[in-house]
Amino acid sequence: MKNIRNFCIIAHIDHGKSTLADRLLQATNTISEREMMDQVLDDMDLEREKGITIKSHAIQINYKHTDGQEYILNLIDTPGHVDFSYEVSRALAACEGALLLVDATQGIQAQTISNLYLAIDNDLEIIPVINKIDMDGAMIEEVKDQIIELIGCKPEDILLASGRTGIGVDGILQAIVERIPAPKGNPQEPLQALIFDSVFNSFRGIIVYFRVLNGTIRKGDIVKFVSTDQDYEAAEVGILKLKMTEKKEVSAGDVGYLITGIKNAKEVKVGDTITLKNNPTQEMIKGFQEVKPMVFAGIFPVNTDEFEELRDCMDKLQLNDASLTYELETSQALGFGFRCGFLGMLHMEIIQERLEREFDQTVITTVPNVSFIAYTTKGEKIIVNNPTQFPDPVKTDRIEEPYIKAQIITKPEYIGNIMTLCLGKRGILLNQSYLTTTRVELQFEMPLTEIVFDFYDKLKSQTRGYASFDYHPIGYRESDIVKMDILLNSDKVDALSALIHRARSQDFGRKLCEKLKELLPRQQFQIAIQAAVGAKVLARETISAMRKDVTAKCYGGDISRKRKLLEKQKEGKKRMRQIGNVEVPQEAFLAVLKLDD
């Protein structure tokens, strides 16, 4: 055990985590030249296309140190985006140390700080590394000063490296062995292992990834999952190389996988403890914190008869992405579906893409919103996750919405743009401080509702990509929230309803009506599109009817003949409007997400 090291790589998005992981694998000959490709651990198509890591990836490296001893290094490459911080927290729970990567051209950014605090909370040994030192714009001395100020280390503790060219990789491997403590634990004690991830394989069932804290797990053992209280036979155990490598046993301090042939996704919970049936451990491992979804949206199958299939796919996807939460929901417009909780808009987009790619499910996503708390006049507390749960305004005493504390790090020339953006989103400036002469940190308190839609994109465009953004929830505050309904010929379309601040409702309603006018196909009858709050209509657009020229066959003759035909047409249109219903195309639901403010 003294020769095992468990570590992960943490950094802001795009600071070169996956590239450095490639070099570590190459330097230790874990991967042959033939298998080598850029970002080799990002095995999902989506990750390659978007150039981001979505899932944490674990891999075992064998390293021969200069002291002649063989070491086993378990590396976990983590995502950098704020929406996937839950992945990072799970990776940290399986490690003793972390490489904190900082881009020499960008310096410390918001995610660097938040991921660092996560690591410190888990008592990890931090090894600071400045990456991309071969770039033309590298500011090595400035970035060193920033790191020393942030974590209070000595200048000689900071390693310099380049993930692209491989400079400094040997120094990093030596530092991992020398600075990161070996895992504590006893292979002779009862088995105690933490599940930190799982994936679904259509041939083998569910594959569980775990980290053993105490004891040993062997092939053929009868294991027990503590929180579900189920027993299984360990059909195969092993370690994670680039491909899974079977072993007879995996013991304390190591990271491995377990196949038991479980088919039901509900039986595996991330953060659960695995132990042996005949010699169980007395205490459960303190798992991770419960995931708190930030954004809620409905996901519905395009064809209502595909609902059961979608349910299976959601179960399998949740295995691989523990931060996805969902429950059943029905909508008059869309039938049966799910109310899903996501950690952010990028997370929602990724889940939708993965459903379409990995499971061939075409889905309709409703307007995303956050959860509010409504207090009735009788003093009851109602949690409102979607507009249909919104209580009657007459019986409502007050409504509270979630607030977040946002931390934005940028260059001084963009302060004005960021102020305008955040104050326009009902933000309150808390603090402004200069980290260095060229970097300034702004802290705001803002309603989460305002951030959900397009805040991140706007921030990037206002600052030419130079701002980094991180946030955490700080509780609920009273607010003037109203429910805005969209009516088509006086019928509510529940999937287009939105909960919105009263001050923004008129503007939002007008834009939405204009957008729907473009997207809804014309019918034989007139369609009125209205946005209303309660009984008050805020905006209206009208789609005129398609008309057949019924008087074309009249050549000359009395005007009364033409009038008779037109009156007959008018009556028909009236009747049609009473029984005709308006089909809302899928684009209309998506258009709401892309409304430009």
The CATH number assigned to the domain holding 378 equals 3.30.70.240
Instruction: Mark whether 74 and 172 lie in a shared domain.
Output: yes
pLDDT above 80 (res 193): yes
Smallest Cα–Cα separation from 295: which of 331, 355, 359, 349? 349
Instruction: Mark whether 245 and 196 lie in a shared domain.
Output: yes
DSSP 417-447: HHHHHHHHTT-EEEEEEEEETTEEEEEEEEE
The CATH number assigned to the domain holding 501 equals 3.30.70.2570
Smallest Cα–Cα separation from 5: which of 76, 101, 89? 76
Instruction: Mark whether 173 and 197 lie in a shared domain.
Output: no
Which residue ranges make up the annotated binding site for GTP? 14-19, 131-134
pLDDT above 50 (res 597): no
Q: Which range is least confidently modeled, 39-53, 129-143, 396-410?
A: 39-53
The CATH number assigned to the domain holding 63 equals 3.40.50.300
Structure confidence by residue, pLDDT tens digits, 517-546: 877 777 777 778 888 888 888 888 887 777
Query: In this predicted structure, what is the pLDDT of residue 222?
Result: 83
Contacts by residues 325-334 (CB-CB < 8 Å, ≥ 24 positions apart): 325/291, 325/293, 326/299, 329/298, 329/386, 331/298, 331/300, 331/366, 331/388, 331/494, 331/495, 332/494, 333/493, 333/494, 333/495, 333/496, 333/584, 334/298, 334/300, 334/304, 334/364, 334/366, 334/495
Instruction: Mark whether 13 and 157 lie in a shared domain.
Output: yes
Contacts of 594 (CB under 8 A, 6+ apart): none
Dist CA 470 CA 423 (whole Å): 17
On the CB side of 288, how many CA atoms lie within 13 Å of its CA? 23
- For residue 186, being part of any structural domain is answered with no
Structure confidence by residue, pLDDT tens digits, 106-127: 777 777 777 787 788 778 888 8
The pLDDT of 55-73, averaged and rounded, is 78
Instruction: Mark whether 518 and 468 lie in a shared domain.
Output: no
Q: Which two tokens stand for residue 558?
A: 């009395």
The pLDDT of 576-581, averaged and rounded, is 55
Query: In this predicted structure, what is the pLDDT of residue 506?
Result: 85
10: left (phi over 0), alpha (psi -120 to 50) or beta: beta
Dist CA 7 CA 335 (whole Å): 47
- For residue 290, being part of any structural domain is answered with no
The pLDDT of 6-17, averaged and rounded, is 80
The CATH number assigned to the domain holding 309 equals 3.30.70.870
Cα Rg, the chain, nearest whole Å: 29
Dist CA 532 CA 209 (whole Å): 50
Q: Which range is least confidently modeled, 175-179, 362-366, 482-486?
A: 362-366
- For residue 284, being part of any structural domain is answered with no
| Number of domains the chain contains | 5
Instruction: Mark whether 472 and 488 lie in a shared domain.
Output: no
Structure confidence by residue, pLDDT tens digits, 285-310: 665 566 677 778 888 887 778 888 88
Instruction: Mark whether 351 and 443 lie in a shared domain.
Output: no
Confidence class for position 409, pLDDT limits 50, 70, 90 = confident
Final residue before a domain boundary, out of 211, 244, 276: 276
Contacts of 533 (CB under 8 A, 6+ apart): 482, 483, 484, 485, 502, 505, 509
pLDDT above 80 (res 33): no
Smallest Cα–Cα separation from 451: which of 377, 501, 507? 501
Q: Positive or negative CA dihedral for 314, 319, 325, 328?
A: positive
Q: Which two tokens stand for residue 4?
A: 């095992």
Final residue before a domain boundary, out of 431, 461, 479: 479
pLDDT above 70 (res 577): no
Dist CA 405 CA 403 (whole Å): 7
Dist CA 32 CA 505 (whole Å): 59
Q: Which two tokens stand for residue 427?
A: 């933000």
Which alpha helices (H) appear in 453-501, and where do they start and end? 455-462
Instruction: Mark whether 10 and 113 lie in a shared domain.
Output: yes
Mean pLDDT, the chain, whole residue set: 78
**In terms of residue numbers, what domain contains 563?**
483-593
Instruction: Mark whether 462 and 535 lie in a shared domain.
Output: no
Instruction: Mark whether 54 and 144 lie in a shared domain.
Output: yes
- For residue 288, being part of any structural domain is answered with no
Query: In this predicted structure, what is the pLDDT of residue 429?
Result: 87
Final residue before a domain boundary, out of 429, 455, 479: 479
Alpha-carbon 136 to chain mean position: 33
Dist CA 231 CA 274 (whole Å): 10
pLDDT above 50 (res 284): yes
SS3 335: strand
Dist CA 59 CA 85 (whole Å): 20
Helix, strand, coil fractions of the chain, as percent rounded to 5? 30, 35, 35
DSSP 524-571: SS-EEEEEEETTEEEEEEEEPPP---TTTT--SS-HHHHHHHHHHHHH
pLDDT above 60 (res 210): yes
The DSSP call for residue 84 is: G
Which alpha helices (H) appear in 251-344, and where do they start and end? 307-320
Three-class SS string for 178-238?
HHCCCCCCCCCCCCEEEEEEEEEECCCEEEEEEEEEECEEECCCEEEECCCCEEEECCEEE
The DSSP call for residue 124 is: P
pLDDT above 60 (res 593): no
Confidence class for position 583, pLDDT limits 50, 70, 90 = low
Structure confidence by residue, pLDDT tens digits, 414-425: 888 888 888 888
The pLDDT of 213-219, averaged and rounded, is 82
Q: Which range is least confidently modeled, 12-21, 229-238, 387-396, 565-574?
A: 565-574
381, β-bridge pairs: 375
Instruction: Mark whether 220 and 359 lie in a shared domain.
Output: no
Residues 291/233, Cβ–Cβ less than 8 Å: no
Furthest C-alpha separation in the chain? 110
The CATH number assigned to the domain holding 202 equals 2.40.30.10
pTM for the predicted model, two decimal places: 0.70
Q: Interhelix angle for 85-93 vs 110-121, to 10°? A: 30
The pLDDT of 213-240, averaged and rounded, is 81
C-alpha distance across the termini of the chain, in Å = 57
- For residue 145, being part of any structural domain is answered with yes
Instruction: Mark whether 88 and 116 lie in a shared domain.
Output: yes
Residues 405/471, Cβ–Cβ less than 8 Å: yes
Q: Which two tokens stand for residue 161?
A: 């490296």
